[in-house]
Amino acid sequence: MNHRRNGILRDEELNRHLPPPARLAAGPVVVIECVENIPCNPCVQACPRDAIIIEGDINNTPTVDYDRCNGCGLCISACPGLAIFVVDAGRTDGVGVVVLPYEYLPLPAKSEIVSAIDREGNIVCDALVVRVADSKAFDRTPLVSIEVPQEYVMIVRHFRCKGGRD
């Protein structure tokens, strides 16, 4: 089953959009999980390093020049489809960081423990909120950074706050 039937991206749909393993291991980098051919390009405009490219027609999906991307995250809040994340799998302490757009209130607090979930909404592990960035530069879409075991940085794509609030 593909995402057109249930909205969930499968590995074969994602593989052509993922950073190479060596780039993932080098530190923070953008992951764009946009697979729809629609007229959209705010991520291109948001990138100060010109690392995000849409070749040809504006309906094409974005690609990333991973040599240019420094994982700044400015593109995350620009994406109306919430399809952009930053992952840091380059740490040596066994944990990684996933930076996510978060459009719910109340915002989680730094040091809060949340339930990290995958693309299907399944709880994968507990995660530690390490940063909540809510500035005007993010156009009312706060960015929440969570620490997860390193093996989950490419699996975790959202979280649930404990205590009944998402």
Pair 139, 97: CB distance under 8 Å: no
pLDDT > 70 fraction of the chain, expressed in percent and rounded: 86
66 or 162, higher pLDDT: 66
CA dihedral in degrees (41, 45, 48, 54; nearest 10)? 40
Is the entire prediction scored with pTM above 0.85?
Answer: yes
Residues in the chain, overall count: 166
- The whole-angstrom separation of Cα 78 and Cα 146 is 20
In the prediction, which pLDDT does 5 show? 56
Instruction: Give the domain ranges of the chain.
Output: 3-161
> What is the pLDDT of the chain when averaged over all its residues?
89
Is residue 132 very low, low, confident or very high in pLDDT (cuts 50, 70, 90)?
Answer: very high
